[in-house]
Amino acid sequence: MVSAGEKPAAGAAEEYNYEYFNVSFPQEYVAHVEISRPEKLNAFVEKMWLNISAIFARLSHNPSVRAILLTGAGERAFTAGLDVQAASQGGSIINPLSPSPDVARKANTLRRDILAFQACITALERCEKPVIAVLHGISYGLALDLSLACDVRLAAASTAFSVKEVDIGLAADIGTLSRLPKAVGSASWVKDVCLSARVFGAEEALRVGLVSGVYKDKGAAVAAGAELAAAIASKSPVATAGTKELLNYSRDRTVEEGLRYTAVWNMAMVQTGDVKDALLSGLKKTRPVFAKL
């Protein structure tokens, strides 16, 4: 769905009709995904995480998209996390339904559900296009899972973060405990916020490196995110996709493994005509125009 007044990216205006999400194309090669359940603080029910996975899988392969902005609708919350009331009614990762009374079989059902939920969030990380999350207001639980799967995180000054899972009796299992230690430099701080579930603000998030920018309000943060998305979208899509892939691969491996994978990747990708186009535009002081990927 393209929002009123927004100019769709060339060739990208195909319908993205997914319940609880607004998908628009505000600038050339930029997609904007907005979580839209503001009356419930954008809290997630099962349909939402299935839909967000489907959206990012489509955008990943859309040749008219080169950068993606992720925001939450309304002024009160990016997302308050999992809709615990809905989840507690059964058939969810908190209260799974299993036809068998056997403990092992119940556990296997739960394992499958957790892996499926993890895969939905990991879809943002696996998306070929760089993803910028702009957080504001209440950003609890799943907000951290989602944003940590993104490539860049920005926040409004009023953002309130919390790794909330211990307050509902479980260890976070959708990605925060795996990704947060890699996103910030202090293991002590990570354990502090994960074990206490305390609320912390945007300035603290900036200090530890969880976000890379803090802005006066949601509007300013979204504008900054849109500007960054446009800047990324102006680059070679071969270069940006490769940069994201290599950074994520190297993050989880040794330097030597990262170097070897980079060499294999670039032995093909460095042959792109985008390199010549970028160099010539720099010499001529013109804006390069790159083919779709």
Q: Which amino acid is at 155?
A: A
Q: pTM for this one?
A: 0.90
The pairing of strands 77-79 and 138-140 is parallel
In the 8-state DSSP scheme, what is residue 82? B
Q: What is the pLDDT of residue 5?
A: 40
HEC profile for 251-266? HCCCHHHHHHHHHHHH
CA dist., res. 177 & res. 174, Å (int): 8
Question: CA-CA distance, 185 to 138, in Å (whole number)?
Answer: 24
Q: For each of the chain's 293 residues, which pLDDT tens digit applies?
A: 334 344 444 445 568 999 999 999 999 999 999 999 999 999 999 899 899 999 999 999 999 999 999 999 999 999 999 887 877 665 555 555 666 788 898 888 888 888 999 999 999 999 999 999 999 999 999 999 999 999 999 999 999 999 999 998 889 989 999 999 999 989 999 999 999 999 999 999 999 999 999 999 999 999 999 999 999 999 999 999 999 999 999 999 999 999 999 999 889 998 898 888 877 777 777 888 888 98
| Sheet with 67-72, side-by-side order of all strands | 21-27, 30-35, 67-72, 131-135, 152-156, 213-215
| pLDDT value at residue 107 | 86
- Alpha-carbon distance of 5 to 3, in angstroms, equals 6
The reported pLDDT for the residue numbered 2 is 37
Type and span of the H or E element at 153: strand 152-156
Strands 213-215 and 160-162: unpaired
In order of their start, the domains of the chain are 21-233 (3.90.226.10), 237-284 (1.10.12.10)
Provide φ and ψ at 47, rounded to 5°: -60, -30
Angle 187-196/176-183 helices, nearest 10 degrees? 150
Whole-number Å distance between alpha carbons of 195 and 198: 8
